[in-house]
Amino acid sequence: MRPEAPAPHAPQPTTTHSSWGSGEPHLLIVNEEDGRIVFPLDADLVTIGSDGGNHVVLEGTMPLHATIRHDEHDEYLLTMHGPGETNARPIGGSEDRTEVLRTGARFTMGPWRIVFMRAEYADHGRPYGGREGGEGTHQRRQPDRPDYRHH
């Protein structure tokens, strides 16, 4: 017995496996005195701290306070080298304070509050662009991710 094919007019769910770096990933950086900065994450490694050689220079932080790496799975990974709070998802067994950033992830450095933003259609933690885990209790599994090594 063969499974029935979906009707041609049936809606096909999308996936979050968009092209490499899509969804306009960026940081919203705010403090009381300097207002808001929008920093696009368009490099595979971004350094943040008070040293003038960093991509993002923030007064009142350590010389190299954090790094954000765009990995081979099209994820953005935050590694905190200095003090600060985060609400991102830690990588299992990670002792170096490395966390996967998802849309809306927040972290602090000195007087700065930072939010990672990426359109939900491209955020791999948001299957099919919906709530993580699906609507209610069920959600179909996404297909495997593309091989992003050749982006």
CA–CA gap between residue 81 and residue 42 (Å, rounded)? 21
Computed from CA positions of residues 148, 115, 105, 69, in that sequence, does the dihedral angle turn out positive or negative? positive
pLDDT of residue 105: 92
Please name every residue paired with 121 in a beta bridge, in sequence order, or none if there are none: none
Domains in the chain with CATH codes: 26-127 (2.60.200.20)
List, as one string, the DSSP characters of 96-128: S-EEEE-TT-EEEETTEEEEEE--GGG-TTSGG
Q: Which residues of the chain have pLDDT under 50?
A: 10-11, 133, 136
